[in-house]
Amino acid sequence: MSPRISVVAPVFNEEELVQEFYTRVRDVMEGLAEPWELILVNDGCRDNSPRLMDEIYAQDPEHVVVLHFARNFGHQLAITAGMDYARGAAVVAIDSDLQDPPEVIPDLVAKWREGYEVVYAVRTEREGETWFKLFTANLFYRLIQMLTDVEIPMEAGDFRLLDRGALDALKSMREQHRFVRAMVSWIGFRQVGVPYRRMARKAGETKYPFYKMFRLALDAITGFSAFPLKVSLWGGALAAALGLLLLPLRLLGIGKSKSQPGNNDGLILFMGGVQLLSIGILGEYVGRIYNEVRERPLYIVRDVKRLES
């Protein structure tokens, strides 16, 4: 029987949690009394997670699918792969670290049954996180809200349910630099949030340190907004105007000082900084174009374990 609900879970070095994650998902899905499947995506794990995932498949081949990537492609592409392989009428994306409790899935399904096509989980509490993590996360969302062209709900991560229609629309977007939650906001459809309490990590370490959050924010901003290019334009115009204002003064010798031959160093550094910043912003967009025109696959699956129906 084809699954009606698919659960997609990226796995990266979660050997201490992946078995418990499966057990809790199984208990929740059996309580829903719907045909279901769990798609575990091995995102290039370097611990014992792949072996444990294969053991979980051997325990329950009727419900479990395992995808083994050829290497680490990243969290967003692991979600994408799981959604590509999902067969359900509704697909739930959830992390396997148990910070997002599987027990919230019935709340998402209930809203889907009411007619909503995208149901996202909204964190009302974030247990066990430092003030720095909370501050940077808040800054992350506010920057994206301010600089991009899409409305991303505050405190909504990748834990969400998509109806098959919304999922097919999302799957048609094959860009390399992916920020799934912004892409889901962009496609539209009827969307609603469900509040929940995010739990503290029980084991292992976060897979989104500051530099990865920065990279994700950069992907979101450059993928959904031309604002950085406008900043570059405005900065160049400001520097040019400043230069034009100072040019007559320099021609007249005003402001020059023979005893201080380096008194223009500050202006030179400012102009050079503006130029380098503008080149860097332009390079970021050109790099994205370069990656897209090569048309490489988003990910490579080395092995698939799935019971053929």
Cα within 13 Å of Cα(262), Cβ side: 3
pLDDT confidence of residue 129: 62
pLDDT per position as a tens digit, 226-280: 667 666 767 667 766 766 666 666 556 555 555 455 455 556 666 666 677 777 7
> What is the band of 87 on the pLDDT scale with cuts at 50, 70, 90?
very high
CB 57 within 8 A of CB 66: yes
Query: Taking residues 116-135, what's their average pLDDT?
Result: 76
pLDDT confidence of residue 136: 65
CB 118 within 8 A of CB 163: yes
DSSP secondary structure letter of residue 51? H
Whole-model pTM? 0.73
Q: Of 71, 75, 199, 215, whose CA–CA distance to 129 is shortest?
A: 199
pLDDT confidence of residue 10: 94
119 pLDDT more than 90 = yes
> What is the band of 112 on the pLDDT scale with cuts at 50, 70, 90?
very high
Joined together, the tokens standing for residue 51 give 């072996």
Give strand pairing partners of 92.
7, 161
Q: What is the DSSP string of 243-296?
A: HHHHHHHHHTTTT--TT-TTTTHHHHHHHHHHHHHHHHHHHHHHHHHHHHHTT-
Residue 226 has φ and ψ, to the nearest 5°, of: -100, 15
Q: How far apart are CA 197 and CA 98, in angstroms?
A: 12
pLDDT confidence of residue 34: 87
> Residue 152 in 3-state DSSP?
coil
What average pLDDT does the structure give for the chain? 80
pLDDT per position as a tens digit, 38-86: 999 999 999 999 999 999 999 999 999 999 999 999 889 999 999 999 9
204 pLDDT more than 60 = no
